[in-house]
Structure 1
Amino acid sequence: MASQFEGFEKKDKNETRISYLVETKKDQNPCFPQAPFEILSKYQSQLKRLTPQKSKEPIVPQTTNGTLTFPSNPVVSAEFIMKLARMRLHEDCSSNSINPLKFQSGISEENLKDMELASNLLMAAENFSIEQFDRAEKLLNQCVLFASPCDSPLRRVVTYFTEALRERMDRESGRIDLERKIVDVEEHALMFKSVSLSCEQKLPLSQISQFTGMQAILDSVASTRKIHLIDFGIRSGSHLIILMQGLASRNDCPVELLKITAVGTSKIWLEKTGKTLSSFAESLKLPFLFKTVISQLSDLKEGFFEVEAEEMVAVFLFLKLCGILAWPNRIESFIGFVKKLNPCVIVVVEMEVNTNTPIFIDRFYEAIFLASTICDLLDTCLKGDSMFRNIVEETYFREMILRTIAEEGEEKIHRFAKIDFWREFFARFDLVEAELSALSLYQANLVLKTSPCWSSATIEM
């Protein structure tokens, strides 16, 4: 899974710096992972010899005269099978049936069944997009027979998308209550806090975004004694441990105060996180103040944030803009609000995929390839922790797919966009792009070396 890292830098008094980060590919401490800089110190001698890892070319299915070619001794991922199924579908777009597959090299019977399952789902989506609802319904019935949320990554993906597409069809036909209760992700995160923390430690997405994001902030406040971080995506707060350790180790410019203002909708979650961070700051002898703002992003007011004249403000946005991207007025108002706080740096973490297109079938394909990759990743990184994986998928993943596929118009909640969109969007607010530091990229590569299961991840500028 590829990762991309970008940034925005302050050039004059009227311009705000953003560091922009796009994410891609035994019993542990229940509070926080091992000290992040201890991980880096293990590889300190390698820093000078390391260079950012080159992007690996994705495996692309090849077809010649209707024959699909597999790589030798392939590990057939859900994403790979989905791409093959789409190629197969497009080759047969002139008919309503799918022709038998031919392969140049051998493929297991299990993979052939997965191919049939994926093909049925994609054909159902294509039929739905042209309002052939009866045909779509029949194909979805076939998917229900063979897919399972407790099976392989491919079959889990098919299960979630079948549910979402069925709900969308029921909405179109008026057979479903449009007032379906939306899952509150923060409430679920509170219920499964230990699971969330464990997953953060085991997924390269979380670890790399934490290290590079916090390093971008450390670089921006290197000569500042009073720092005010406004965090709109605090989650467990484990990423802030990295920041606090970095600030506590500064000798040339000791920190007089680190103030963190956490914004969210769960008072209990924020207060628990604040107590843990305060205790950690005390152990580091780091002057620390933690404040909370209980509010939706759309209801924020300047008076909520106590910004002192001598403080340097930094902003952290972890998967927050995707929640308001579907409403242009809301996201423009929010970014305008953030800019008024006059931050020296903003770190943005978002998925690099376009699910904000108004064309349903384009959005469906973007979403299903992303979902297939994520399920492959969860299966690899959480191997042996099926309970954790199930909770993550049921709590976050399933709901994300429902919101992307089943909802439309004003109901849209979660949407992602690619970096070109964000560059154009931020430019309208005079927010200027800057690269992450070389140290951030070195650290990201070092983090990848801490787990064998992350070996297939790549990092790109």
Structure 2
Amino acid sequence: MDSGPANVSNSQTISYVADTEREIPQIPLNPLELLNQYAPKVKRLRVEDSSEKKSDPPPNPASSGHGQAIPAASIIKMAKARLLQLNSQKADIVSYASTSFGAQCGLPSAAAEDFELALRLLAAAEKVAKQQFVYARKLLSLCESSVSQSGNPIQRVAYYFADALQEKIDKEWGLVSSEEMERIRKGPTDVEQTMIRLRPEMTRCQQEIPFCLYTQFTAIQSILDCVASAKRVHLIDFGIDNGSHWTLIMQAFSVRFECPLEHLKITAVGASKQMMEDTGKWLSSFAETISLPFSFSIIVSEMEDLKEGRFGLEADDTLAVYLGLRLWTLLPWPNQLDKFIKLIRNLNPRLIVVNEMEASINSPDFLKRFNESIHVFSAIFDCINSCMYHRVMFRKLNEEVIFPGMIRNIVIAEGIEWIQRYEKISFWRALFGKFGIVETGMSRPPPDQEILFLRSSDRLTSCTVELDGKCLLLGWKGSAIQSVSAWKIKQDD
């Protein structure tokens, strides 16, 4: 395998930025238009309860329909099942993988090729786990003619995982320098500046990703319901990003005539001072346009270094906390994670809303985390392929600049150098429970209403929302990708 995306240069990233900016000039970045476009749908969501669903067996290739592509994550699932079967039969995996076997499974020709690619890649990972690197390289060489940065989702995701496996082998053989390992740990060094420069374009594109919007609307509605009668509201956002989600709650407060809001304060916490300052200016400007009493403050800090006294809490403020894809960053350091959860507990917010990846990629067992990560990334690539088909450069920015660093860190790094870790909702329930933080229901509409929000266009019909306890799981074609949940401090009896 060649070095591929492992060496994305700064000039190449700048090229992506320029192309992406040209690609999306026509969409207005206007919070009120965003609100008017989507807010009516928020109250009309229908949620499917996963407790009533039976566990699905591996997909039957014959049921995929004529000309209908089999989901990338389903191809991975099928390949895992076949590899398990071959292992139980003590088959020679390398010899078997050297043949054309996809058609034997009753798959259409295109799906058969993807199935063969997936099985070879999974078999290579299995050989790497067993430190059988020569066999792993043979299997990866069989993947070379099928992987592609410009192919279908399974071919693209396989490209990056195959590249990472090859680099892991090179590391084990002592062919990777210490400088390369530092780059593997950190990922592309210019990603943060890329995100700052692309803020408007990424905000616009997020309007078309169902997970982003659904999470934002359910989180905001839950917070609104929680502070319905509060006159002074303080919101703490860890990792505020572009802040577009807060325009929805600001607009709602501005028309709350029955109980006028006296003051809204948003505190952003993060490591990027420039990004938070830019967001604060934008939100402050928006607050002025709707005559909302508003203040914005920032805390420049890593999460593990925070102190309670830095938040400027007032006794008459009603506090809510939003943790959007932030807790996972502390998973490599369990003691610091516990310390942070204790900090949140001591702030005593009325509500905590948490959004996390719904994936179990925190096992020291290499093969377990490889299999879990390729499954979830396959679903993500499939989702972006459908939702971003007319935003090619934005998709490529994610797939060729951001995701490769994440994948390589998961596959190659070990110990505290391995920072891309994720856990499922069951893990967070157990952790929060230790600190007296209990799950509460998300605000949602009656279950008999149509999910208009996720059915707003044909390409979004594959997005699914299920209930796991009181937590909402957002998925693509049956594969969960993110969770969003609400929590309260357990009061002493």
Aligned to 1:170: 170
Q: Are 2:349 and 1:343 aligned?
A: yes
* 2: CA distance, partners of 1:320 / 1:125: 29
Q: Which moved more, 1:273-282 or 1:53-62?
A: 53-62
1:392-444 per-residue CA deviation (whole Å, 9 max, x = no partner) reads: 22333222212221111111212111111111110001001111123498999
Question: What is the CA-CA distance between 1:38 and the residue it aligns to?
Answer: 4.5
- When normalised by structure 1's length, the TM-score is 0.86
Aligned to 1:30: 29
Q: Is contact 2:103-2:112 (8 Å) kept?
A: no
1:248-306 per-residue CA deviation (whole Å, 9 max, x = no partner) reads: 12112111111111112221111111111011111111100011111111222223211
Q: In the alignment, residue 158 of structure 1 is paired with which amino acid? A: A
Aligned to 1:14: none
Q: In the alignment, residue 297 of structure 1 is paired with which amino acid? A: M
* 2: CA distance, partners of 1:188 / 1:270: 15
Sort the Cα spacing of 1:294 and 1:43 in 2 relative to 1 into closer, same or farther, 3 A.
Answer: closer
Of structures 1 and 2, the one with the larger relative CO (CA 8 A, separation 6+) is 1
Sort the Cα spacing of 1:96 and 1:211 in 2 relative to 1 into closer, same or farther, 3 A.
Answer: same
Question: What is the CA-CA distance between 1:75 and the residue it aligns to?
Answer: 2.2
1:59-108 per-residue CA deviation (whole Å, 9 max, x = no partner) reads: 74467xxxx64433242221122122222212211122326245575502
Match of residue 92, structure 2, among 89, 96, 120: 96
Match of residue 71, structure 1, among 44, 48, 64: 64
Aligned to 2:217: 211
Unaligned runs of 5+ in 2: 1-23, 468-493
Aligned to 2:119: 119
Question: What is the CA-CA distance between 1:445 and the residue it aligns to?
Answer: 2.9
Question: What is the CA-CA distance between 1:111 and the residue it aligns to?
Answer: 2.4
1:293 aligns to what SS in structure 2?
Answer: strand
Q: Are 2:201 and 1:202 aligned?
A: no
Aligned to 1:144: 144
* 2: CA distance, partners of 1:196 / 1:354: 27
Match of residue 75, structure 2, among 75, 78, 81: 81
* 2: CA distance, partners of 1:430 / 1:400: 33
Q: In the alignment, residue 332 of structure 1 is paired with which amino acid? A: D
Q: Is contact 2:41-2:452 (8 Å) kept?
A: no
* 1: CA distance, partners of 2:336 / 2:457: 39
Sort the Cα spacing of 1:444 and 1:339 in 2 relative to 1 into closer, same or farther, 3 A.
Answer: farther
Q: Is contact 2:218-2:444 (8 Å) kept?
A: no
Q: Is contact 1:148-1:159 (8 Å) kept?
A: yes
* 1: CA distance, partners of 2:280 / 2:447: 29
Q: In the alignment, residue 118 of structure 1 is paired with which amino acid? A: A
Q: Is contact 1:212-1:441 (8 Å) kept?
A: no
Q: In the alignment, residue 47 of structure 2 is paired with which amino acid? A: P
Unaligned runs of 5+ in 1: 1-25
Aligned to 1:4: none
* 2: CA distance, partners of 1:450 / 1:286: 31
Aligned to 1:411: 417
More helix by share: 2
Superposition pairs of residues 46-61 of structure 1, within 5 angstroms? 47=44, 51-53=46-48, 60-61=57-58
Q: Is contact 1:61-1:70 (8 Å) kept?
A: no
Q: Aligned Cα RMSD in Å?
A: 2.5
Aligned to 1:233: 239
2:33 aligns to what SS in structure 1?
Answer: coil
Aligned to 1:20: none
* 1: CA distance, partners of 2:28 / 2:449: 22
* 1: CA distance, partners of 2:141 / 2:199: 36
**Taking every aligned residue pair, what percent have the same amino acid on both sides?**
39
Question: What is the CA-CA distance between 1:175 and the residue it aligns to?
Answer: 1.7
Matched pairs, number:
427
* 1: CA distance, partners of 2:445 / 2:249: 14
Q: In the alignment, residue 408 of structure 1 is paired with which amino acid? A: E
Aligned to 1:450: 456
